[in-house]
Amino acid sequence: MSRAFNFSPGPATLPEPVLRQAQAEMLEWRNARASVVELSHRGPEFLQVARQAEADLRMLLSIPDDYAVLFLQGGATAQQALIALNFAAPGQQADYVLTGHWGLTALKQAAPYVDARIAADGETGGYRDIPPRAGWRLSDDAAYVHYTANETIHGVEFREVPEVGNVPLFADFSSSIAAEPLDVSKFGLIYAGAQKNLGPVGIAVVIVRRDLLERAGQPRAPIFDYRAHLAGESMLNTPPTWNWYLLGLTVKWMLDEGGVAEFARRNARKAALLYQAIDGSGGFYRNEVAPAARSRMNVPFFLHDPALDAAFLGEAAEAGLISLKGHRVLGGMRASIYNAMPEAGVQALAAFMRDFQQRHG
Amino acid sequence: MSRAFNFSPGPATLPEPVLRQAQAEMLEWRNARASVVELSHRGPEFLQVARQAEADLRMLLSIPDDYAVLFLQGGATAQQALIALNFAAPGQQADYVLTGHWGLTALKQAAPYVDARIAADGETGGYRDIPPRAGWRLSDDAAYVHYTANETIHGVEFREVPEVGNVPLFADFSSSIAAEPLDVSKFGLIYAGAQKNLGPVGIAVVIVRRDLLERAGQPRAPIFDYRAHLAGESMLNTPPTWNWYLLGLTVKWMLDEGGVAEFARRNARKAALLYQAIDGSGGFYRNEVAPAARSRMNVPFFLHDPALDAAFLGEAAEAGLISLKGHRVLGGMRASIYNAMPEAGVQALAAFMRDFQQRHG
């Protein structure tokens, strides 16, 4: 067998050089005479791994010094509960902008702790566009405004950071962090599960403006306290060391490849190629998202005849293109084309789509 | 370089065959044409990995069918908060038996949610023994009784499961799960971070009697709800797939080696050898824990002259024996000798200790 082009939405494909380095170091990390996964998180070797990963991530994303970076467990979903506990008074209003499945998940995780309001909801349009900013119902008293930068299921992405006034803007960037340059200073908090664009599963990143950590929040266990995690350098308890290490390798790879500016160019080319393959198919394939809101990272599409879905998936797999089945919420197909997906993979997919259409059209 | 005997308390040494298999499969898992770390958690390949790991863990630990098994993030520490949220009414009493550092941590994590009472505290004796059962102050109204089966810092271990009447017994087994046969049916709940005796960091196991999951608990986010995690087969959100996979490989290795009965024999021999090396040193080395409460997993010891500590650690490392420095709370030395530490490692340590004493005694 050989490696396929893997369009999985997350966990997702990793850069092959990262996997090869992890493979080479699996039994012994440098001179440690042990694997990274066996090293104490408090020993000098792992501290070096952890600190280098943070320094590289700060460089990759141009994170200002007045922002703290946390490396945590629980994925993005746990952060969706923790942001309410850490930054809102009990029952305080928080405004949620919904542009797909994950925005609603964020609201549900916070709902036990805050007065979670829907400021805008794209559901009436089938989550095919971003509700116009003018119609958002925001409160000046809200603890924060939350939105989902990229919706992995519905394939809807904000291409600009919305203006929300003085209330801190919180955003789930799980599936589009590092996809292009971003002005972090526009945000109060950014969080992301790493398993899409930052590498491995099992670790999440929180980037938070330091002054917000002075908010009292709500009664909570120390392990749910971001301030405590920061004071403990994200080692309040044993962190997921190997995952942190793999994140570091992936971030370093992105820097070596040219950083987010270069990935923005590659991602624009990849997305354009794939949407052209869909739009140019004369209706054989379709994507219903408004062009200005189309995701560069997750491209859902449907065959004109769902009876062809199984053949499409089977033949694609034979052609070395895997994990193209759409999310069960939407059905159809979905190609996730994160930073680690090479342009050759998207070219191969577009070519396969044309070929499949010729044979089944 | 070559691999050393690694006495790290956790993350800890892994069986070399497990690391070699993970290395061999790093770029491609079986016929998946992708690494395990790249596979969707909802795809058939990873579901196979996850279910096999649970089946093997159930066999290894003889877990009865009326107990659920959860694979979660956040380590043992997050579970210490979550057990209060899931199994106690707001402010309900919960009884904690403290025999070291981690029992107190467990109490602190639960304290925001329950009336956490200290039922017994070994601190007055410097955590060198287990407070006699007759003196424990337990309430019939408590939501649960919590104890720490093995204290990794103080090296104090319960060798029998305490009788606590009708209140469910909850226990932190992070550092001694699978060290010997255990009657799970005596417990309401057992939890363990995996990074000591079950393999990798970044994943924790919760074994809970199913009827307890019907307790209302307290208002909490869905991601903090054990019932929801069970309903979602521990995939309520993206689980730490690679860590789960490595746990599965480690559990399978333990089964292949003969299961917990065999590890109980090996662990008894390893611990006896090391305590003999300490007790037989004429005071050059000392361990102050009452013999009946001495841990088989973590053996803290002190040199008669702390000025020799640096030389001991340096010469040990040269002899291929690493991570022997004691926890900062206690100082001195500590040898963690979990299931994956071969008897040859403990033999080498005991021989080194004798040799060091001859040269520096």
pLDDT tens across A18-69, in order? 999 999 999 999 999 999 999 999 999 999 999 999 999 999 999 999 999 9
For residue A319, the cross-strand partners are none
- Alpha-carbon distance B58 to B52, whole Å? 10
Q: What is the per-residue DSSP string for A4-43?
A: PEE--SSS----HHHHHHHHHTSS--TTSSS-GGGS-TTS
Q: Is A22 on the interface with B (CB under 8 A)?
A: yes
| Domain endpoint, select from A220, A236, A256 | A256
CB contact under 8 A, A9 and B40: yes
- According to the annotation, is A21 in a ligand binding site? no
CB contact under 8 A, A39 and B8: yes
Residues A84 and A217 occupy one common structural domain: yes
Q: Is B348 on the interface with A (CB under 8 A)?
A: no
Q: What is the per-residue DSSP string for B36-61?
A: GGGS-TTSHHHHHHHHHHHHHHHHHH
Asked, for residue A2, whether it belongs to a domain, the answer is: no
Say how many residues make up chain A.
361
CA neighbours closer than 13 Å in the CB half-sphere of residue B50: 25
Alpha-helical segments (H) within B62-144: 75-87, 101-110
- Alpha-carbon distance B237 to B223, whole Å? 8
- According to the annotation, is B76 in a ligand binding site? yes
- For tokens 């340590």, name the residue: B349
Residue B36 Cα to chain centre, angstroms: 25
Q: Annotated catalytic, B186?
A: no
- According to the annotation, is A102 in a ligand binding site? yes
Q: Is residue A261 predicted with pLDDT exceeding 80? A: yes
Asked if A67 and A60 count as a contact pair (C-beta separation under 8 A), the reply is: no
pLDDT in tens, chain B (361 residues): 599 999 999 999 999 999 999 999 999 999 999 999 999 999 999 999 999 999 999 999 999 999 999 999 999 999 999 999 999 999 999 999 999 999 999 999 999 999 999 999 999 999 999 999 999 999 999 999 999 999 999 999 999 999 999 999 999 999 999 999 999 999 999 999 999 999 999 999 999 999 999 999 999 999 999 999 999 999 999 999 999 999 999 999 999 999 999 999 999 999 999 999 999 999 999 999 999 999 999 999 999 999 999 999 999 999 999 999 999 889 999 999 999 999 999 999 999 999 999 999 8
CB contacts of A8 in chain B (<8 Å) are: 34, 38-40, 43
CB contact under 8 A, B221 and A14: no
Number of domains in chain B: 2
Residue of chain B with shortest Cα separation from A23: B23
Catalytic-labelled residue, pool B172, B225, B244, B325: B172
CB contact under 8 A, B1 and A31: yes
- Full residue range of the structural domain in which residue A352 is found: 258-360
Tell which residue, A24, A11, A5, has the closest CA to residue A249.
Answer: A24
Fill in the DSSP letter of residue A230: H
pLDDT tens across A207-259, in order? 999 999 999 999 999 999 999 999 999 999 999 999 999 999 999 999 999 99
- Alpha-carbon distance B171 to B147, whole Å? 5
- Alpha-carbon distance B99 to B126, whole Å? 9
What CATH number has the domain bearing residue B176? 3.40.640.10
pLDDT of residue A99: 98
Please identify every residue of A annotated as catalytic. 102, 172, 196
- Alpha-carbon distance B102 to B173, whole Å? 11
Residue of chain B with shortest Cα separation from A340: B38
pLDDT of residue B1: 57
| Domain endpoint, select from A209, A236, A256 | A256
| Domain endpoint, select from B240, B256, B272 | B256
Q: Is residue A347 predicted with pLDDT exceeding 80? A: yes
pLDDT of residue A361: 86
CA neighbours closer than 13 Å in the CB half-sphere of residue A164: 29
Asked, for residue B10, whether it belongs to a domain, the answer is: no
Q: H helices then E strands: how many in chain B?
A: 9, 14
Residues A303 and A196 occupy one common structural domain: no
Q: Annotated catalytic, B252?
A: no
ipTM, two decimals: 0.97
Asked, for residue B216, whether it belongs to a domain, the answer is: yes
CB contact under 8 A, A221 and B26: no
Residues A264 and A131 occupy one common structural domain: no
Q: Is B239 on the interface with A (CB under 8 A)?
A: yes
